[in-house]
Amino acid sequence: MIKRYCILIKKEILSTTATLSFHIIALISPVLFLFVFTSNLKNDISFPVRINGSREFQTHVLSFTSPGGSSYFHYLDEENMITITENRNITLNNGVLTGDILLEVNSIDANITKNYRNRLTGVLSRIVSSSIPEIAITVEEIPVYSRDPPWSAFFGSSIFIFAIIFSGFLFGSFSFTEEWDNHMITLFKLSPVAPAHVILAKFLSVFIKVQISLLFYLSISAAIAKTPIPPKIIILMVTGSVLAIPPGMLVGVILKNKLVTFLVSLIASITLWAFGGGFGTAGGMAPLVQTLMSINPVSSLVKLVLHINFSGPFEPFLVFYPLILGVILFLILFERYRDLIKNTKYRGLLW
């Protein structure tokens, strides 16, 4: 039996050459996402700004940081740069704080304008608190993580979840599209190998390919971040693969066409990732979106990777929910495949 499994797994892995271009896309697309996000978020949450004013005022602006110590502004003296100008020095006279600040925003993006305005308000609040401490309001923040992850590090971890889902979906679906192209579905009915063994061998071969693609991403991500790969990441790799591979195989059983299954895998992966916390938490979003994110198993994988990489909160549900759902999908796949083999006719093959 073990020898038969080895033959089936070898056959599945060697058949990768038939869809090599799609496998390469699945391999490099998360890496391209990683390069895009890390290059655009190299300054983390810090916004560029040009400051005109006293040295004391410039110090107040540039020293304004998040609770985790990340600067909200960094100085950049370029043309057409958003500028904060201290038209009249901020001074304290007889308990009254006066001054005149001008914020020049050369952007029509309402979100950018809001962020600069809110951050400048925060700077002025700090100035008021330091100048008139008796009226200052102290705010204590309790962070979710022991250390605030930089945005580039967060997206590097989040994209890893996309890599799991996309490769699991795509490799799983292609394990069956090849059988449709080669009329192997009919041959499987004539084969003495039970459907359960075929499904399990395909799952194991896809699992191996998914792990290889994930190790490729992890090695590049670790090299960019200059950090070691945490050993506990293997828990996430196994959990995510168990969740992603069965629905991918089910797509291949139903849709049959390579290009269609590729598009479905890509769209489904991006959608599940985006609505699973891939771009951040659901806080502030519409109630319906928050509900969808709460039941999306990918959100559990995102929280799990944040726990592994940044010591975020952990609960067993983050592992058990994707695993249980993956097993249920595997059973649905088995029933669908068994019915397919049972109802397959020989005539198409004999032609």
**Strand bridging mode 47-52 / 73-75:** parallel
Averaged pLDDT, 59-80: 83
- pLDDT of residue 350 exceeding 50, the answer is no
Sheet with 47-52, strands from edge to edge, namely 73-75, 47-52, 83-93, 96-104
pLDDT digit string, tens, across residues 328-344? 999 999 888 888 777 75
- pLDDT of residue 248 exceeding 70, the answer is yes
Mean pLDDT lowest for which of 21-30, 210-219, 225-234, 284-293? Answer: 284-293
Cα 245-251-252 angle, rounded to 5 deg: 90
In this predicted structure, what is the pLDDT of residue 183? 62
In this predicted structure, what is the pLDDT of residue 189? 58
DSSP state of 277: I
In this predicted structure, what is the pLDDT of residue 44? 75
pLDDT digit string, tens, across residues 260-280? 999 999 999 999 998 888 887
If pLDDT is split at 50, 70 and 90, which confidence band does 319 have? very high
pLDDT digit string, tens, across residues 105-131? 877 677 778 888 888 888 888 888 888
Mean pLDDT lowest for which of 68-72, 207-211, 222-226? Answer: 68-72
Mean pLDDT lowest for which of 83-97, 232-246, 291-305? Answer: 83-97
Averaged pLDDT, 162-187: 81
DSSP state of 82: -
- Contact, 205 vs 9, CB < 8 A? yes
In this predicted structure, what is the pLDDT of residue 351? 40
Higher pLDDT among residues 12 and 160, named by residue: 160
Mean pLDDT lowest for which of 147-151, 252-256, 305-309? Answer: 147-151
- pLDDT of residue 198 exceeding 60, the answer is yes
Sign of CA dihedral 139, 145, 147, 149: negative
In this predicted structure, what is the pLDDT of residue 194? 73
Report the chain's mean pLDDT, rounded to a whole number.
83
In this predicted structure, what is the pLDDT of residue 235? 94
If pLDDT is split at 50, 70 and 90, which confidence band does 325 have? very high
- pLDDT of residue 161 exceeding 90, the answer is yes
- pLDDT of residue 79 exceeding 70, the answer is yes
Straight-line distance from the first to the last Cα atom of the chain, in angstroms, rounded to the nearest whole number: 32
Rounded Cα gap, residues 224 and 213, in angstroms: 17
In this predicted structure, what is the pLDDT of residue 53? 86
The two three-digit tokens of residue 205, written as one number: 């071969």
